[in-house]
Structure 1
Amino acid sequence: MKLTVIQSVRTNNFNDDQLMQKITGLWQEASLRLTDRDLLTYGVYHDYESDYKGDYTLSVAVEDRQGESTLEIPDDARYEIFPVDATDEQGVIRAWNTIWERENSGTLHRAYTYDYEKYDPRGQIEIYIAIK
């Protein structure tokens, strides 16, 4: 999958006091630059330092249909998909908590390559976790 990055930020889920401000600001800034509201939008997690407790980069991106892609997710990657309750304001956070719980319990073996949240223009949200 070829994506064009709109905006990126480097952060850490546990050691960054500005985590929520960075993520909220990232999405607000990116939304100003997203002109085609019918495109699938992605929150891509990449450049992992280690596991989910280390630093990572979060990029807001759209599918590249014509221009030059700035991020390419390998087509042969394997993913486990986690649906998000889009009616729940905390749905994305709850889904990530489930992912981390599964990883901690040993029932999810993450690859830490490219993970992404997929936002469909009709409101559906799914989180794709790269697995080994």
Structure 2
Amino acid sequence: MKLAIISSIRTNNFNDERIMQKITEMWKEASHHLSKHEGVTYGVYHNYESDYKGDYSLSIGIEDNNGPSIIEIPEKENYEIFKVNTTEEHGISNAWSKIWHQEENGTIERVYSFDFEKYYPNGEIEIYIAIK
């Protein structure tokens, strides 16, 4: 799958005190480009330094082969899909906490290649985690 990248940041879940500000600003910047987009929007986690405790890149993208910056997500990856409870105020961060908990408990084994959040036009959100 090829995604045209709208905006990107580099951050860390635990060592970046500006993480929420960076993510909010990134989405705000991307919203101008996404205002007429009616398809699926992706939040792609990539360029992992190590595991979920290390630095990583987060990019916002849409399915498009013609963007100025393209990320190609390998089609052959195995993914575990987590549905986000969008009725919860912190549904996305709660879902990530569950993913990290499962990783700590050894119930999922991540490969840290490409993970992504898939934002559907109907408001549903799924998180795809690349696993071994």
| TM-score over 0.5 for the pair | yes
TM-score by length of 1: 0.96
> How do 1:114-129 residues align onto structure 2 when only pairs under 5 Å count?
114-129=114-129
Stretch moving more, 12-21 or 32-41:
32-41
Structure 2: distance between partners of 1:34 and 1:112: 27
Instruction: Tell me if 1:67 matches 2:77.
Output: no
> How do 1:107-118 residues align onto structure 2 when only pairs under 5 Å count?
107-118=107-118
User: Residue 58 of structure 2 aligns with which residue?
Assistant: 58
User: Residue 2 of structure 2 aligns with which residue?
Assistant: 2
Instruction: Tell me if 1:18 matches 2:27.
Output: no
Return 5+ residue gaps in structure 1 as ranges: none
What is the CA distance between 1:23 and its match in structure 2? 0.6
- 1:43-80 CA distances to partner (integer Å, 9 max, x unpaired)? 0000000000000000000011x525600001111100
Structure 2: distance between partners of 1:96 and 1:2: 24
What is the CA distance between 1:5 and its match in structure 2? 0.3
Structure 2: distance between partners of 1:35 and 1:27: 12
Partner secondary structure for residue 101 of structure 1 = helix
TM-score by length of 2: 0.96
What is the CA distance between 1:125 and its match in structure 2? 0.2
What is the CA distance between 1:36 and its match in structure 2? 2.6
Does the 8 Å CA contact 1:38/1:121 hold for their aligned counterparts? Answer: yes
Does the 8 Å CA contact 1:111/1:130 hold for their aligned counterparts? Answer: yes
How many aligned positions are there?
131
Report percent identity of matched pairs.
58
Partner secondary structure for residue 58 of structure 1 = strand
Paired residue type of 1:67: N
